[in-house]
Amino acid sequence: MNLHTFLFVVSCCALTPYALANEESAGRQFILESFEEAKNIVDSAYKFSRDESLARVRKDVIKPSDKLRLLKQPARKTREAVRAADYMAQTLRLISEKTHHAHKRSINATNLLTPEELNIIRHLTGCSAQTRPPSCRTTPLINKYRTATSVCNNRKNPLLGASNNPFARWLPAQYEDNVSQPKGWNPNKLYNGAALPLVRLVSNRILSTADADVTSDREFTFMLTIFGQWVDHDLTFTPFSPSIKSFSNGLNCDESCEHSEPCFPIQVPIKDSRLSTNSCMPVFRSSPTCGSGNTAYMFGGSANVREQINALTAFLDAGQVYGSEDGLAKDLRDLTNDDGLLRVNNQYHDNGREHLPFTSVKSNMCATRGKTLNDTSLTEVPCFIAGDVRVDENIALTSLHALFMREHNRLARALRVLNPSWSSETLYQEARKIVGAYQQVIVVRDYLPHIVGPDAFKSHFGKYPGYNEKVDPSIANVFATAAFRFAHLTIQPIIHRLDENYLNHPQFSNVSLFEAFFSPWRVIFEGGIDPLLRGLIGRPAKLNTQDHMMVDAVRERLFAFTSHIALDLASLNMQRSRDHGIPGYNAWRQFCGLSAPQNERELALVMDNTQLARQLVELYGNPANIDVWLGGVSEPFVPGGRVGPLFACLISMQFQRIREGDRLWWENPGVFTTKQRTSLASASLARIICNNTAIQRVPSDPFRFSSPSNYINCKTIPAFDLRPWIETAK
């Protein structure tokens, strides 16, 4: 029975010719009315949330939860995709509720709708436009340069790896209602005979570390940690819902501890050391994609589960420098000349070098100078803008953004000298192409082996096998949500700032990490990026140990500048994994061909730690229930790496797929010439630092920790050879 027939049957006492004639138009009218109601609900919730945020900005009472939510807001094309998905989900919810009310039983609206009616809803909500593959035939220079969004990287499947598409599922999702309800939504639901523990309780018992107890890594620098964050921001961004208000009942997520879409707050356990037992940390669900969850049937989908959006491309393409959508990419360019440059700050300079430009968005997110220094008369500056919105998350990360922006501009200027006839577009695209190749070379050759160890690296990264259009490079949900968040346990509580002798800077002292969040003013007014970069390469990372996992700066003071409740990164990681329906620890161990511990004794062998195994089983009841992020970061390191066997497997597998599924990978024949590839193979992070700062001596491997006495002079590092880019007359 379709929708208009169903409506006719439940609303009419007898079949009349008039009713039969108007049956179809009644069904369409019902759809239109449901859509308009859904649109009003979503738009009203978005407006309420925006007005609340603006009110807090005006009153200067931004909370840590606001900072997280605003940081994870969808923008531009991503916001369009999120809004379309919300329109569709709420339209179908209303149709289901109305038909349920009329029929007195639960009915899935998609079972009532004809293909024509489904198509009407797809177009009304905007989901049709979001899921329609583009034509690649009219895309200019498609074999030479990447599109900003990476559409058409795969010619047969143009959306594969493109921004604003779903994360990949390597294992089926596990939702409590088998469709979209997060794990832990119902506190009484049992998994393997046990309820899931509160994530904050797990964080308190397993991950808590006093800053004074931190052990430093003897082998690797803090650059390894921050560069990992830099790479993550090239690959993954999961936007939150723009609404802080429940779509179904109007609940304000900031003022309630109830679970009501999109509110998924973190409940505080009894006797929490910091928070009251009646409080919770506001958390918002990640936005769904069009055609997932209860809307999957509308797109012919068989896997009727909620999927989350990756707002970034799946490729190592330096999207955090250039942006992953056309509008932002254009806004980041300096279009006042023909030099192919990126925009720079027009108010401040860094000892004669370029600073990142300021955003034009009005916000007090980064107005922290007066509060931190207790002097409201001090000049505040806006947030920076870059290819990724998280540029201001901490000043160490900001320094890498500035470094690579400068390298782009250095390359563009040098290419202009070599090729005076090149247009602004060619200069920009060629410099962008080189910086993207830098990213690929440094990540695979220099960064990954330190993380996954030589064994996993060797098994996944032998000789480059060439591009394979059948390989899906899409970022896996488990990678984004769990595996590549391992570095949260290598974060030091201090951001070091060092002078030219790699000693603590006499003028600009070290900064507590919690005072380095959203603080671009420190980069502007406190010495620029050189002291920060020296601190990254001249000081060690934190060593992740099983008894001292996560520092207070991110577990107790995340995004906290006032007395408001701060966030807990460990809890957020586990809550996000449950929100996404990520299977538990044992499922992923089996996926990687590893053993799946069934009890405390077997878990103790895997962890090589009897006490930790006992604590985990006491909390989770069964090793299979352990949140995969927690299980992964709890494992002992693989030899030569900084993750355990599970994450070594998942991280290696993801980067292998990124490399083999990228048609424009730097080693793929035809992307660069043979001589250009030879130049790119010599690229190094050390040389890039030397090119764009006043730093004179650096470690040959900025990821390896060593004494400054072993550093090399920048003059001894060969300059990047741009001669292969000289265009010869044809």
Residue 618 CB-half CA count within 13 A: 10
- My answer on whether omega of the bond before 540 falls inside 30° of 0, hence cis, is no
The owner of tokens 């030569």 is: 640
Kindly state the tokens that stand for 275: 């928070």
CB atoms within 10 A of CB 15: 10
8 A C-beta contact, residue 397 and residue 390: yes
* Phi-psi label, residue 579: left if phi above 0, alpha if psi -120 to 50, beta otherwise: alpha
Report residue 627 as tokens.
């949140």
Residue type, 555: R
Paired with 333 in beta bridges are 342
380 vs 393: CA distance, rounded Å? 17
Q: Is 585 helix (H, G, I), strand (E, B) or coil?
A: helix
By CB atoms closer than 10 A (0-12, 13-18, 19+), residue 303 is exposed
**Of 350, 396, 389, 384, which Cα lies nearest the Cα of 512?**
396
Kind of pairing between the strands at 353-354 and 190-191? unpaired
Taking every pair of Cα atoms in the chain, the longest distance, rounded to a whole number of angstroms, is 95
The DSSP H or E segment spanning 692 is helix 685-692
Measured CA to CA, the distance from residue 491 to residue 174 in angstroms comes to 30
Query: How many other β-carbons are positioned within 10 Å of the β-carbon of residue 376?
Result: 10
Beta 165-166 vs 190-191: how paired, if at all?
unpaired
3-state secondary structure of 422: coil
Catalytic residue annotation: 233
Residues contacting residue 685 through CB under 8 Å, at least 6 positions apart: 223, 227, 442, 446, 702, 703
How many Å apart are CA 724 and CA 413, to the nearest integer? 16
CB 502 within 8 A of CB 669: no
CA distance linking residue 294 with residue 304, whole number of Å: 6
Assigned token pair, 451: 């993380």
Q: Tell whether the torsion through CA atoms of 181, 183, 186 and 190 is positive or negative.
A: positive
Nearest residue to 393 (alpha-carbon basis) of 530, 522, 243, 221: 522
What is the 8-class DSSP label of residue 476?
B
Q: Could you give the dihedral angle defined by the CA atoms of residues 392, 393, 398 and 400, in that order, rounded to the nearest 10 degrees?
A: -140
Structure tokens at 222: 């803090």
Instruction: Give the contacts of 654 (CB within 8 A, at least 6 positions apart).
Output: 475, 476, 479, 483, 484
Strand ranges in 450-573 using DSSP code E only, listed in sequence order: 494-495, 511-512, 540-542, 550-551
- Within 8 A by CB and 6+ apart from 487, the residues are 224, 225, 228, 229, 232
With contact defined as beta carbons under 8 Å apart, do 617 and 607 qualify?
no
Pairwise CA distance, residues 208 & 547, whole Å: 8
Coil, strand or helix: which one is 610? helix
Could you tell me how far CA 235 lies from the centroid of its own chain? 7
Give SS3 for 106. coil
Alpha-carbon span 542 to 215, nearest angstrom: 6
CA gap 308, 220 in Å, rounded: 34
